[in-house]
């Protein structure tokens, strides 16, 4: 694979009111690459029947995509979101109610985006990405600062298919195929006026041009995912058998407790983790051994976990003991030594 160079537009770097730096994050729209990869993305929701037809077309053509549903619609239509997830698609944040964010105060923007992410995390669990697409593609400095605070990565698009316009289907297909370039992000909609009719032709046409469809998480795999700039957590070093154990996302110390991402930690020790979105829990297996991590609370047969940004975090000491590891703590260096 040829080396890919990310192309993104950095709209702002820093604002410094009262001497306190307030970070923003870059807005991604495509990458610059010679590799013929391209990402289909679908916004909104609104219509169950049309959304299901879109899902079926993607399944019939074995295409993966990134879905940006409005969270209030998604929460009322869990079954269709689950079918998208079961098909291997990924989910991003598109706000709670689809307002034009630039017409809102910073506080209102944060409420819209935060509520959406919390609602989608309950639906998608670890299949929720940190990608955030502002409704209408409209954002301002407040939007970017809120995204940075919440650890979200804003993404727009480089090709607008116009599937939402009252134009001939052939024009939608032609416009999309002519606008396609390696590394492009294509904007479509789950309930666009022409989406269902145009999508098969777009998929077929792009494949004839030699393109491979990828999700945004693969397209932007070389880009550092946005991380929260304001957090009550402290970084923690992990060590196992004399070597640093690096996790992404990283382990963190909060309220005297070390938390680690469940899937990434267990995979290091040869465990498999299966997410059950309906029950909000992870089933962890290694051979005939298994245990459950339950989001939100615990019971006699489950460890307690918490969903944060679509990732299930668990207390390190409990999960280490569950798989037969001991733990020593160095308070001077914030280091947990596993043995």
Please tell me the distance from the alpha carbon of residue 294 to that of residue 156, in angstroms, as a whole number. 34
Catalytic residue among 43, 44, 142, 163: 43
Counted residue by residue, the chain has a size of 339
Please tell me the distance from the alpha carbon of residue 260 to that of residue 249, in angstroms, as a whole number. 8
Catalytic residue among 87, 166, 189, 255: 189
Burial of 252 (0-12, 13-18, 19+ CB in 10 A): buried
Q: In the annotation, is 43 catalytic?
A: yes
How far is the CA of 155 from the CAs of 26, 200, 225, 248, 277, in angstroms? 9, 24, 12, 21, 25
Closest alpha carbon to 88 in 262, 221, 275, 264? 275
Cα maximum dimension of the chain? 67
Q: Are 313 and 261 in contact (CB under 8 A)?
A: yes
Q: In the annotation, is 189 catalytic?
A: yes
What region does 91 belong to: left with phi over 0, alpha with psi -120 to 50, or beta?
Answer: beta
Residues catalogued as catalytic: 43, 189
């Amino acid at each position: 694979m040829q080396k890919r160079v990310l192309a993104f537009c950095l709209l702002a770097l820093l604002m410094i009111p009262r001497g306190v730096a307030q970070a923003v994050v870059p807005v991604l729209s495509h990458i610059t690459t010679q590799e013929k990869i391209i990402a289909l993305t679908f916004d909104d929701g609104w219509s169950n029947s049309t959304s299901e037809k879109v899902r079926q077309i993607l399944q019939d053509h074995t295409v993966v995509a990134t879905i940006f549903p409005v969270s209030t619609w998604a929460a009322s239509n869990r079954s269709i979101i689950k079918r998208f997830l079961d098909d291997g698609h990924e989910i991003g944040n598109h706000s709670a109610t689809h307002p034009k964010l630039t017409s809102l105060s910073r506080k209102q923007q944060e409420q819209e985006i935060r509520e959406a992410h919390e609602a989608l995390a309950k639906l998608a669990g670890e299949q929720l990405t940190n990608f955030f697409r502002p409704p209408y593609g409209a954002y301002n400095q407040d939007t970017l600062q809120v995204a940075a605070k919440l650890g979200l990565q804003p993404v727009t698009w480089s090709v607008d298919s116009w599937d939402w316009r009252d134009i001939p289907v052939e024009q939608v297909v032609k416009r999309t195929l002519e606008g396609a370039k390696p590394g492009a992000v294509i904007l479509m909609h789950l309930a666009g006026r022409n989406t269902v009719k145009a999508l098969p032709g777009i998929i077929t046409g792009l494949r004839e041009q030699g393109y491979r469809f990828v999700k945004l998480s693969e397209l932007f795999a070389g880009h550092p995912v946005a991380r929260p700039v304001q957090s009550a957590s402290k970084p923690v070093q992990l060590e196992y058998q004399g070597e640093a154990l690096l996790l992404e996302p990283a382990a963190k110390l909060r309220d005297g407790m070390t938390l680690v991402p469940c899937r990434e930690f267990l995979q290091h020790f040869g465990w498999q983790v299966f997410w059950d979105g309906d029950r909000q829990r992870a089933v962890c297996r290694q051979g005939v051994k298994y245990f459950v991590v339950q989001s939100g609370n615990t019971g006699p047969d489950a460890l307690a976990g918490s969903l944060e940004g679509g990732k299930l975090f668990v207390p390190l000491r409990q999960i280490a003991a569950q798989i037969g590891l001991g733990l020593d703590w160095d308070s001077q260096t914030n280091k947990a030594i596993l043995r």
